[in-house]
Amino acid sequence: MILVTGVSGALGGSIFDGLRAGGLEVAAASSSGDGVAVRNADFDQPETLRAAFAGVDVLVFVSAGYAEDDVVLARHGAVVRAAAAAGVKHVMYTSLAASGDLLTIALAHRWTEARLAEAPFDVTILRNGLYAELSAGLALAGAASAAGNGVFTAPFGDGRLSVVARADLAAVAVRVAAETWADLAAGVPRRHAGRTYELEGVSAVGGHDLAEVLAETLGRPVEYRAVPLSEVRPMLAGLEAYRAGHTVSMFSNINAGVLEARHSDLPAFLEPRPARDVIAATVKSGLEDLQN
């Protein structure tokens, strides 16, 4: 059986739906699971993982990164130990792509990859690029002022970031899980065992690109103006402390130009959705939500 964790989230939910639509023997797990339709797997309560992982052959382990690093490390460490104790044969982990190596969020991902490498089961690492939906969120944050004065301000400098549609990442995870399941059933060597895939976006966006998307959506000229990093922290005062830290790190990385990927394994799996279309659609529906 395949088990997907974190199915209440956007990525885990899409992976589970994709596997179920393919007619595979798949179960769902969530920290808010009811234990009947959805297995209860709360990484903060390691005692829930023993029952959740019982009878599982292939575990699709979706990272649970929204917390301080010590919490995320404890969560992910508990998953690795529980999967080993339950006799899971193969774990797929949704990690972070190589271009994100200097982001503060990379620490928990690389730490988790190292724990998985020491574990007794086979592993496939899906190193996910940054979501196109995430950059759409940054555009939306500047939409109100762009609508008013035609200026989109963001702390990107002249940098750009490679982005990928979350649906593409889910589709790759579905294919890798299905092929791993098929190899297991056939008793042949698992083609994805021991593999790390860099699922970077194949196109990059910067401040000018997001300003263009806003201009198209708002139906008025919009120009990009960079704000210095020194102005970012006060703007993030309302965020949880860990999230503010990670956000500053992301803007620093964009400014430094290191989030533009040079290589991606994504096209080997599918034809990537154009990031610009995903961003435009997300911005459009976000603006409609704001207006309603």
Which residues would be at the binding site for ligand NAP (CB under 6 A)?
Answer: 5-12, 30-32, 42-44, 62-66, 94, 128, 130-131, 134
Residue with tokens 């207006």: 291
Residue nearer to ligand NAP on the CB measure, 9 or 257: 9
- Helices 132-141, 207-218: inter-axial angle, 10-degree rounding: 70
Residue nearer to ligand NAP on the CB measure, 221 or 274: 274
Least Cβ distance, residue 189 to ligand NAP (angstroms): 29
Least Cβ distance, residue 66 to ligand NAP (angstroms): 6
Least Cβ distance, residue 67 to ligand NAP (angstroms): 8
Residue nearer to ligand NAP on the CB measure, 66 or 110: 66
Residue whose C-alpha is closest to residue 27's, from 50, 57, 64:
57
- Helices 207-218, 275-291: inter-axial angle, 10-degree rounding: 50
Least Cβ distance, residue 147 to ligand NAP (angstroms): 26
Residue nearer to ligand NAP on the CB measure, 128 or 153: 128
Least Cβ distance, residue 285 to ligand NAP (angstroms): 16
Least Cβ distance, residue 85 to ligand NAP (angstroms): 17
Residue nearer to ligand NAP on the CB measure, 5 or 252: 5
Query: Alpha-carbon dihedral of residues 63, 65, 69, 75, nearest 10 degrees?
Result: -50
C-alpha angle 265/75/30, rounded to 5°?
Answer: 80
| Distances 181 to 12, 53, 188, 245 between C-alpha atoms, Å | 18, 16, 10, 39
Least Cβ distance, residue 221 to ligand NAP (angstroms): 30
Residue nearer to ligand NAP on the CB measure, 12 or 155: 12
Q: b or e along 159-195 (b: 16 or more beta carbons within 10 Å of the residue's beta carbon)?
A: bbbbbbbbbbbbbbbbbbbbebbebbeeeeebebeee
Residue nearer to ligand NAP on the CB measure, 44 or 288: 44
CB < 8 Å & 24+ apart, contacts of 25-34? 25/1, 25/181, 26/1, 26/2, 27/1, 27/2, 27/3, 27/56, 28/3, 28/4, 29/3, 29/4, 29/5, 30/5, 30/6, 31/6, 31/64, 32/8, 33/7
